[in-house]
């Protein structure tokens, strides 16, 4: 029964990536004044903020799809859910690190809560060998 709850959690975690996608292409603001992913230390200078927003959006859609697929796989007790969740947790964390603006202020606006969740997922799966 716990696998159903955790599977739903993984799907919901994936859907949060779609909120960040909406923020990145400026469909809405998650918080007033939030400009993520503008100012990415790695990408904004070389290619500009507009391409950064598009790239972030595409990667976030892929991440949402991966968490959703893995979560559904867990709910239905499929063997393939585990490698998908391992890979997408790493991929998702890299997205938020790639688009980080280098400032330590308002880290929760920049996906660092998501990174913490991804790290907890990785610890559960790799260290504690869950399930």
Which residues contact residue 123 at a Cβ distance below 8 angstroms, ignoring those fewer than 6 apart? Answer: none
In three-state secondary structure terms, 57 is helix
Could you give the CA distance from residue 24 to residue 36 in angstroms, rounded to a whole number?
6
For residue 131, the model assigns a pLDDT of 75
Domain ranges of the chain: 2-127
Residues 56-82 have a mean pLDDT of 97
pTM metric for this prediction: 0.93
pLDDT band at 105 (very low <50, low <70, confident <90, very high): confident
């Amino acid at each position: 029964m716990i696998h159903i709850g955790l599977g739903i959690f993984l799907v919901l975690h994936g859907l949060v990536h779609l909120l960040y996608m909406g923020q990145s292409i400026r469909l809405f603001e998650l918080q007033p004044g939030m400009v993520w992913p503008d100012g990415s230390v790695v990408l904004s200078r070389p290619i500009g903020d507009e391409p950064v927003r598009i790239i972030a959006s595409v990667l976030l859609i892929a991440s949402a799809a991966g968490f959703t697929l893995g979560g559904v796989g867990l709910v239905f007790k499929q063997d393939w859910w585990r490698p998908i969740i391992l890979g997408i947790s790493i991929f998702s964390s890299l997205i938020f690190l790639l688009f980080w603006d280098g400032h330590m202020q308002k880290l929760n606006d920049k996906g660092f809560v998501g990174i913490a969740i991804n790290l907890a997922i990785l610890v559960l799966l790799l260290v504690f060998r869950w399930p």
